[in-house]
């Protein structure tokens, strides 16, 4: 095959980990997509993909684009990781296959069936509370309070020390980013949060019947070692709470901004699950992730060397007009399948059923009990190197 001489990879002078970018990523996402199938981001010496096709392709070729050198900017082949690597997120097959199977079964459809009624009852109780308040903070009082009322108990955590959970997750997601102030500050302040998490991952600190105890039970079955089990519990503590806080926050923010869609949901609460999924596509709570090339590889007619970091813009892919009709419209009946808000391929979110369960029962409870949702004060953004969401969302609701 004769190939055209490859032109230089377009450079873009955008820092995707800056406050200006976080405040309004959408025009930057468009510039990144339009610049080409792959771009150079010179601020942090890396390559980026922002179009749906390339993001999807990178996610689905784990042999070429590996995770074991870290899914943040730091290359574990060159730098010591800030914590022992995750046995699932920061692993490649065949090691990944075994740990993935364990967490996949701990968070299976059968397990969701067991926790569903409890999660739904807690959502209804939480919605009753905010309806009684009338005015409240959608972030603290709902997006954070609801997952905190179900997930730590489902995991089997002790009551004491739970205030470390959200700061620990904030740290994990800031640490994927470049060595900017957000990352440095988070790591500088991490010691008490890390100590808490390490302790709670031990078998004796996890209540029988919870997700944590279920992971440790796989040691007895010979599927994982006693050393591996606490690290797999750590994955749930890292990825299982703050992500759903941001996901539910995204859904609330959508409902408050798009009253037409809120009325459609009220008219048919069975749309709750897709309304949540569309909020994950629309806001992409997990905005970015990296891979590292294991060989020289061609992307969109450009050659990239071995050992290069590739930044995937999940949020940009989820609004790529090449893939989505009217991508900037929040539409609760959209065909959302194929969005990359939960990733794609062998690493696609292993906890997605828990996330969807929480999102669905919360939106369904709101749809049945609330007539109107209005933003009633200044909306404040929370800044994180990986997560997109709000710090404060003042809301006023009326009862149905």
Q: Give SS3 for 390.
A: strand
Q: Does 238 bind ligand 4IA (CB under 6 A)?
A: yes
Q: Does 385 bind ligand 4IA (CB under 6 A)?
A: no
Site for ligand 4IA (CB under 6 A): how many residues? 10
Strand ranges (E), 314-376: 370-375
Give phi and psi for 303, each to the nearest 5. Answer: -100, 135
Q: Which of 359, 351, 373 lies closest to 279 in space, CA to CA?
A: 359
Q: Does 86 bind ligand 4IA (CB under 6 A)?
A: yes
| Region of 86-94, 156-164, 246-254, 295-303 interacting with ligand 4IA (CB under 6 A) | 86-94
Q: Does 172 bind ligand 4IA (CB under 6 A)?
A: yes
Of how many residues is the chain composed? 400
Q: Please give the structure tokens belonging to residue 355.
A: 């996330």
| Region of 216-224, 232-240, 246-254, 318-326 interacting with ligand 4IA (CB under 6 A) | 232-240
Closer residue to ligand 4IA (CB): 36 or 72: 72
Contact at 8 Å (CB) between 174 and 183? yes
Closer residue to ligand 4IA (CB): 266 or 309: 309
Give phi and psi for 182, each to the nearest 5. Answer: -60, -45
Supply the minimum distance, in Å, between the C-beta of residue 224 and ligand 4IA: 14
Q: Does 286 bind ligand 4IA (CB under 6 A)?
A: yes
Closer residue to ligand 4IA (CB): 136 or 282: 282
Supply the minimum distance, in Å, between the C-beta of residue 197 and ligand 4IA: 10
| Region of 18-26, 45-53, 230-238, 302-310 interacting with ligand 4IA (CB under 6 A) | 230-238
Closer residue to ligand 4IA (CB): 102 or 256: 102
What kind and span of H or E run contains 274? helix 272-283
On the CB side of 189, CA atoms within 13 Å amount to 14
Contacting ligand 4IA (CB under 6 A), which of 14, 32, 38, 88? 88
Dihedral sign for Cα atoms in the order 256, 261, 263, 264: negative
The single residue listed with the structure tokens 């929370």 is 382
């Amino acid at each position: 095959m004769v190939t055209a001489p490859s032109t230089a990879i377009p450079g873009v002078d955008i820092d995707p980990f800056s406050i200006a970018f976080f405040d309004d990523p959408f025009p930057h996402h468009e510039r990144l997509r339009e610049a080409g199938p792959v771009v150079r981001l010179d601020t942090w010496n890396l390559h980026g993909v922002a179009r749906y096709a390339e993001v999807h392709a990178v996610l689905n070729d784990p042999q070429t684009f590996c995770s074991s050198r870290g899914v943040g900017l730091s290359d574990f082949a060159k730098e010591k990781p800030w914590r022992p690597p995750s046995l699932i997120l920061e692993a490649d097959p065949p090691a990944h296959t075994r740990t993935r199977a364990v967490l996949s079964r701990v968070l299976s459809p059968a397990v969701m069936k067991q926790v569903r009624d409890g999660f739904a009852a807690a959502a209804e109780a939480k919605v009753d509370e905010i309806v009684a308040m009338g005015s409240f903070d959608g972030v603290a009082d709902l997006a954070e309070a609801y997952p905190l009322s179900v997930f730590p108990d489902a995991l089997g955590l002790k009551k004491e020390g739970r205030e470390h959970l959200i700061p620990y997750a904030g740290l994990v997601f800031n640490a994927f980013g470049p060595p900017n102030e957000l990352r440095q500050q988070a790591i500088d302040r991490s010691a008490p949060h890390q100590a808490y998490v390490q302790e709670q991952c031990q078998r004796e600190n996890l209540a029988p019947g919870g997700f944590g105890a279920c992971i440790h039970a796989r040691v007895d079955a010979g599927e994982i070692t006693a050393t591996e089990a606490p690290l797999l519990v750590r994955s749930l503590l890292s990825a299982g709470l703050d992500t759903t806080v941001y996901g539910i926050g995204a859904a609330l923010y959508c409902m408050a901004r798009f009253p037409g869609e809120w009325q459609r949901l009220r008219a048919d609460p069975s749309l709750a699950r897709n309304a949540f999924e569309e909020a994950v596509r629309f806001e992409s709570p997990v905005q970015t992730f990296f891979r590292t090339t294991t060989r020289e590889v061609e992307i969109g007619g450009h050659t990239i060397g071995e050992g290069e970091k590739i930044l995937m813009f999940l949020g940009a892919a989820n609004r790529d007009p090449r893939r989505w009709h009217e991508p900037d419209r929040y539409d609760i009946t959209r065909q959302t399948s194929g969005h990359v808000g939960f990733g794609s391929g062998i690493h696609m979110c292993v906890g997605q059923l828990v996330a969807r369960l929480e999102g669905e029962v919360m939106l369904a409870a709101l749809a049945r009990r609330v007539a109107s949702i209005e933003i009633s004060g200044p909306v404040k953004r929370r800044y994180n190197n990986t997560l997109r969401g709000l710090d404060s969302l003042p809301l006023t609701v009326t009862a149905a």
